[in-house]
Amino acid sequence: MKRNFTIRQGALDGVEAFLAVAQRRNFRRAAVELGVTPSAVSQAVRTLEARVGAALFIRTTRSVGLTEAGERFLSRAKPAFEELIAASGAARELGQRPAGLLRLSVPRAVVPILLEPLIASFCQAYPEVQLEIAASEELIDLAAQGFDAGIRLGQFIAADMVAMPLTRPFPLVVVGSPGYLSRRKQPQRIDDLRQHACLRLRRSNGAIAPWSFVDGNKAVEAIVSGPLIASDFPTLLGAAVEGVGLAQVPEPVAAGATKAGKLIHVLKPFAPTAPGVFLYYPSRHHMMPKLRAFVDHVKNRSGARTRSHMENKQTRGRR
């Protein structure tokens, strides 16, 4: 059976006035404390008594005392009201300076590449902020699951989010180990993947992602098959290094292994370009100081890296 609910209006109206009078035992002194007129305090208390359904004060021309109902109301209302004031103060502190728990949802592959260089410097710069990194490939609702921000590939971020680029666009590359490619003919065309073991990614919605390519100006999706399905790029990369098969991953994820000679790029002419990795969050208008501090920290670090990169290019150019 459906129940009818009503929202109580003004449940706290008059409580502050009541507490001030109960403490001072005087309406006029309570009014001075609250910065209002004695008649306003008197009216607030009368309205509260009407709502409670009992007289809370005994009033005479010489004094003000509490009734039994007033004593009971005071014993419960005073600690509750003080706790509300304390709660407001605690929330106000978080709204005025970077402090509290900052929760970020990020893919596993991003942690060593982008976040590890930032975590130490951010924690040192903002010791009152606790940074929580939840590494998951799942595309989540930030607000519903209590996250302040997330990091994702640009193509997976909803249009209503504020997105800040953390990387330049980069290619999605197909890589294989020297051992694997010594056993199989290296693919020269997209169709050659039919003869290869291709390691596949299962998306957070349950679907297995096709491999994406470009052929001239045409985007191509290839349905591939192979012995392994994983839900994140680091697992696919590790399997490729071990010679299980070919993997398609973001180029920055494979950069360390290719530089070390553990993986070789194939099908380079067909590599598509991803828009890059972005930090995203719901709104600029209600941004807490802890998130604003993190966004500014990322911007400053990114700017420093860009300046360093340009200075290195200029130095090389003068040699």
302 pLDDT above the threshold of 50: yes
Mean pLDDT of 68-92: 83
Mean pLDDT, residues 163-173: 93
Fold agreement (15-96, 170-274) = no
Range picked from 15-24, 27-36, 51-60, 246-255 for highest mean pLDDT: 246-255
Q: Which CATH architecture has domain 170-274?
A: 3-Layer(aba) Sandwich (3.40)
- Residue 110 confidence (pLDDT): 87
What number does CATH give the domain 100-167+276-318? 3.40.190.10
Per-residue pLDDT at 270: 97
Q: What does the mean pLDDT of the chain come to?
A: 86
Q: Look at residue 60 in the predicted model and tell me its pLDDT.
A: 80
What pLDDT, in 10s, does the model give residues 198-254?
999 998 888 999 999 999 889 999 999 999 999 999 999 999 999 999 999 999 999
| Cα gap 141→243, rounded to integer Å | 36
Pairing of strands 211-215, 129-135: unpaired
Report the share of the chain in percent with pLDDT over 90. Answer: 55
Q: Given pLDDT bands bounded at 50, 70 and 90, which one contains residue 266?
A: very high
Which percentage of the chain shows pLDDT scores above 70?
Answer: 88
Q: Domain 15-96 - what CATH class? A: mainly alpha
pLDDT value for 148: 92
Q: Where are the domains of the chain?
A: 15-96, 100-167+276-318, 170-274
Chain position carrying tokens 């299962």: 202
| Arithmetic mean of pLDDT, 43-63 | 88
Determine the Cα–Cα distance for residues 278 and 128; give it in Å rounded to an integer.
25
- Report whether pLDDT(34) > 80: yes
Query: Is 50 exceeded by the pLDDT of residue 313?
Result: no
Burial status of residue 8 (CB atoms within 10 A of its CB: 0-12, 13-18, 19 or more): exposed
State residue 185's pLDDT score. Answer: 92
Tokens standing for 58? Answer: 């005994």
Q: Model confidence over 133-164: pLDDT tens digits?
A: 998 888 888 888 889 999 998 888 888 899 99
Least confident of 23-27, 257-261, 280-284: 280-284
Residue 89 binned pLDDT confidence (cut-offs 50, 70, 90): low
Strands (E), the chain: 57-59, 64-66, 100-106, 129-135, 149-153, 162-165, 170-176, 198-201, 211-215, 218-222, 229-230, 246-250, 264-266, 273-274, 277-281
**What is the pLDDT confidence band of residue 303, given thresholds at 50, 70 and 90?**
low
Residues 118, 298: contact at Cβ < 8 Å?
yes
Tokens of 62: 């010489």
**What b-and-e string marks burial along 282-292, b requiring 16 or more CB atoms within 10 Å of the CB?**
beeeebbbbbe
pLDDT value for 180: 97
